[in-house]
């Protein structure tokens, strides 16, 4: 059997591209956009998100046969919230500057539809290792979308890449100016919209 057709691999690769949670399923954009002004915050946010989705899927899948049906959602929320708090505490202890910039958006991972969506739709009915991989895949898909938006916004908005000036000074002397608009909220919506367009056209051609 080819690697690309195992269930294991498909579980991981599906959410990365063909079924990306942000750009195809339109989930979890809430927290996604506000942190995309810089690549650094986007990357950290992506990693935090991946950790939370992966481990909440794993834990819930492990206890999926024991959770009483009637308190399922609240139990899931508690596990997710615990993981989010741990992530937040960790960031505040070791990456203070970034956690200051992310402010409330780490906390908002709790209500991010991707996390609850994956635990509900996948972890509850699949074994732990698949659930974990599914979590990582979805987290990575989310991060990929985030990083792409952040890359565009940081490059066009402040001429930087990971906080380093990469546009040569000659551009500026020749009259080029940073696009301040890219740093404002509306630009994120428009970039996502265009990304969706690009990807949908692409994915459609793939399947044909």
Partner 1 sequence: MFNRIKSLLFALVLCLICGSLLAFASKGLKNRQQDNITTDRQKNILKSVGLIKEEMTYTPDQIKTLFIDTIKRVSVDEAGRIIDEKENTEIPGSKIFPIYLYVQSDDSIAAYVIPIDTKGLWGKIHGYLSLGNDGSTINGFTIYKHSETPGLGGEIEKTWFQQNFVGKKIVDRHGAFVSLSIARGKVENNIPEDRRKNYVDGISGATLTGKFLTEGLKETLSSYEPVSIRFRKNNFRDYKQIEKKQR
Partner 2 sequence: MENLISIFLNSVFVGNILLAYFLGMCSFIAVSKNIDTAMGLGFAVVFVLTITTPLNWMIYYFFLAPGALSWVGLPDLDLSFLKFIMFIAVIAAIVQAIEMVIDRFSAGLYSALGVFLPLISVNCAILGASLFMVEREYTFIESVVYGFGSGVGWMLAIVAMAALRIKLRYADIPKGLEDYGIAMIVTGLMAMAFMLFSGISF
Where along the sequence are the contacts to partner 1 (CB under 8 A)?
Answer: 34, 37, 66-68, 70-71, 74-75, 78-79, 81-82, 85-86, 89-90, 92-94, 96-97, 100, 103, 183-185
Rounded CA separation 42/157 (Å): 15
Could you tell me where the beta strands, DSSP code E, fall in 62-152? none
**Residues 12-51 within binding reach of partner 2 (CB under 8 A):** 26-34
Q: How many residues does the chain have?
A: 208
**C-beta of 71 vs 198, nearer to partner 1:** 71
Binding partner of residue 183 among partner 1, partner 2, none, CB under 5 to 8 Å per kind? partner 1
Single out the residue of 51, 52, 84, 149 in contact with partner 2 (rule: CB under 8 A). 84
DSSP 31-92: HHHHTTTSHHHHHHHHHHHHHHHHHHHHHHHHTTTTS-GGGHHHHHHHHHHHHHHHHHHHHH
**Cβ pair 140, 16 in contact under 8 A:** yes
Residues that bind partner 2 (CB under 8 A): 26-34, 73-74, 77-78, 81-82, 84-85, 88-89, 103-104, 107-108, 110-113, 116, 184-190, 192-194, 196-198, 200-201, 204
């Amino acid at each position: 059997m080819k690697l690309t057709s195992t269930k294991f691999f498909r579980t991981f690769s599906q959410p990365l591209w063909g079924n990306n949670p942000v750009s195809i399923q339109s989930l979890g954009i809430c927290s996604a956009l506000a942190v995309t002004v810089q690549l650094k915050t986007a990357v950290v946010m992506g990693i935090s998100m991946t950790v939370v989705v992966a481990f909440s899927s794993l834990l819930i899948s492990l206890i999926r046969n024991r959770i009483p049906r009637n308190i399922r959602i609240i139990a899931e929320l508690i596990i997710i919230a615990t993981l989010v708090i741990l992530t937040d505490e960790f960031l505040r202890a070791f990456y203070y500057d970034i956690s200051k910039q992310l402010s409330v958006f780490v906390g908002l991972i709790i209500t991010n539809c991707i996390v609850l969506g994956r635990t509900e739709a996948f972890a509850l009915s699949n074994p732990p290792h698949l659930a974990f991989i599914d979590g990582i895949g979805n987290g990575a898909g989310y991060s990929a979308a985030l990083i792409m938006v952040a890359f565009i916004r940081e490059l066009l908005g402040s001429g930087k890449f990971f906080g380093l000036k990469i546009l040569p000074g000659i551009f500026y002397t020749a009259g080029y100016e940073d696009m301040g608009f890219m740093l404002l909220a509306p630009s994120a919506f428009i970039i996502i919209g265009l990304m969706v367009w690009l990807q949908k056209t692409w994915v459609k051609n793939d399947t044909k």
